[in-house]
């Protein structure tokens, strides 16, 4: 049987679960807050155009608006200054095969339960690989922190000195790119970088290093606790926005039951 026939058979036999890694687009869902001297990310907004009424008797629809970086979203290389000259660096240009691939989930939830500012290091990745095997080339690597379970203000976790949330150490991102040639890195937090990532070297290392290397980011993911460490297939296709630096999207994972 061909691989796709096998897949279709397994899907119709209920042997594959499709897990939704996406938060609902909702005006109440928090967006990243940058220091006040910078431009800010817009929340999701929705206004009714008609609802089976005089504005449209047989139809209901809405106009919506948001940032490219609102809710569960994709980051393209052109989002960061390091990636400004990367070929095919905006969401409309990225080859579609990049949007489907194997996914490795590195569980850092025990560490992040103890330390809001936890940084995942190359040693954490090596320990994960000793147990689960080497991260394959072209994989998406997702950092599980259970941050998606946080409600209200605890999600951004804003303090006087800025947000506090976990992320990858600069060396961890370099390791994933230089040694493993991943396609992208995803997180449950509001950014691929730790909340205090502006104080790392380089500032916002995940954004700087990933996008400079032509790699992608996924942010505000959920349900990572429903994924196995290896073996799932991720589908993450951003909207085809001309010159877009990112996009809200539906992120799905296929998992064998
Ligand atoms: C702009 C500036 C800093 C950051 C971000 C955006 C994001 O996290 C984002 O959504 O890409 S850290
Ligand atoms: Mn983003």
Give the ligand at the shortest distance from the Cα of 80.
Answer: 1
Residues 23 and 73 sit within 8 Å (Cβ to Cβ) = no
What is the tens place of the pLDDT at every residue in 155-188?
999 999 999 999 999 999 999 999 999 999 999 9
Bond preceding residue 204 cis, omega within 30 of 0: no
Look up the domain containing 80 and give its range. 7-40+68-256
Per-residue pLDDT of 57-98, as tens digits, reads: 999 999 999 999 999 999 999 999 999 999 999 999 999 999
Among residues 23, 69, 73, 79, the one annotated as catalytic is 79
Q: 66: CA distance to ligand 1 center in Å?
A: 15
For the segment 237-250, the average pLDDT, to the nearest whole number, is 98
What DSSP line would sit under 212-247, residue for residue? HTT-EEEESB--GGGS-SSSEEEEE-----TT-SEE
If DSSP codes are grouped into helix, strand and coil, which group holds residue 176? Answer: helix
The sign of the dihedral angle between the CA atoms of 37, 38, 39, 43 is: negative
pLDDT at 139 over 90: yes
With respect to residue 46, please indicate whether it lies within any of the assigned structural domains: no
**Pocket-testing residue among 23, 29, 32, ligand 1, by greatest number of atoms within 8 A of Cβ:** 32
Under 8 Å CB-to-CB from 57, ≥6 apart: which residues?
Answer: none
pLDDT of residue 229: 98
State the pTM of this model. 0.97
State how far Cα 224 lies from the chain centre: 11
Which of 31, 84, 191, 215, when mutated, tests ligand 1's pocket best, judged by the most ligand atoms within 8 Å of its CB? Answer: 191
Which atom of ligand 1 is nearest the CA belonging to 190? 8
- Res 199 pLDDT > 90: yes
Question: Does the beta carbon of 193 sit less than 6 angstroms from any atom of ligand 1?
Answer: yes
Domains of the chain: total: 1
104 contacts: CB under 8 Å, gap ≥ 6: 128, 132, 135, 136, 139, 140, 141, 142, 229, 230
Q: Is residue 50 part of a domain?
A: no
Q: The CATH number of the domain where 232 resides is what?
A: 3.50.30.50
Distance (Å, whole) CA 228 – CA 37: 41
Distance CA 105, CA 111 (A): 15
Q: Is 198's C-beta closer than 6 angstroms to any atom of ligand 1?
A: no
Task: Give the ligand 1 atom nearest the CA of 191.
Answer: 8
Pocket probe mutation, ligand 1, options 69, 91, 173, max atoms within 8 Å of Cβ:
69
| 34 ligand 1 Cβ < 6 A | yes
Residue that has been written with the tokens 């790699």 in this structure: 215
Residue 52 forms part of a structural domain? no
211 Cβ closer than 6 Å to some ligand 1 atom: no
pLDDT confidence tier of residue 1, bands split at 50, 70 and 90: confident
Quick check: is 175 catalytic?
no
Determine, yes or no, domain membership for 22: yes
- Over range 107-128, report the average pLDDT: 98
For residue 45, is it within any domain?
Answer: no
Spatial separation of the C-alpha atoms in residues 35 and 15, rounded to whole Å: 47
58 part of a folded domain: no
Answer yes or no: is 236 within a domain: yes
**Residue 112 to residue 108: CA distance in whole angstroms:** 6
Mean local confidence (pLDDT), 106-118: 98
pLDDT at 234: 98
Does residue 62 form part of some domain? no
* 3-class SS string, 97-124: HHHEEEEEEEECHHHHHHCCCCEECHHH
Nearest CA to ligand 1 atom 4: 191
């Amino acid at each position: 049987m061909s691989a796709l026939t096998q897949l279709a058979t397994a899907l119709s036999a209920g042997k594959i679960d499709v897990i939704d890694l996406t938060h609902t687009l909702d005006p109440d869902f928090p967006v990243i807050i940058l220091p006040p001297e910078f431009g800010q990310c817009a929340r999701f907004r929705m206004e009714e155009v008609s609802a089976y009424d005089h504005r449209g008797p047989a139809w209901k629809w809405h106009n919506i608006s948001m940032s490219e970086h609102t809710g569960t979203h994709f980051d393209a290389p052109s989002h960061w200054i390091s990636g400004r000259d990367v070929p095919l660096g905006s969401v409309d240009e990225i080859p579609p095969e990049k949007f489907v691939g194997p996914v490795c989930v590195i569980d850092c939830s025990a560490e992040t339960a103890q330390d809001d500012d936890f940084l995942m290091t190359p040693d954490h990745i090596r320990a994960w690989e000793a147990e689960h095997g080497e991260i394959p080339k072209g994989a998406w690597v997702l950092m599980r922190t259970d941050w998606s379970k946080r409600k209200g203000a605890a999600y951004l976790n804003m303090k006087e000195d800025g947000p506090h949330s976990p992320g990858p150490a600069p060396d961890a991102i370099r390791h994933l790119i230089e040694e493993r040639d991943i396609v992208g890195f995803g997180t449950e937090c509001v950014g691929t970088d730790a909340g205090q990532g502006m104080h790392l070297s380089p500032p916002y290392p995940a954004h700087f290093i990933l996008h400079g290397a032509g790699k992608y980011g996924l942010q505000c993911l959920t349900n990572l606790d429903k994924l196995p460490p290896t073996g799932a297939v991720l589908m993450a296709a951003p909207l085809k926005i001309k010159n877009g630096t990112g996009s809200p999207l539906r992120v799905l994972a296929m998992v064998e039951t």
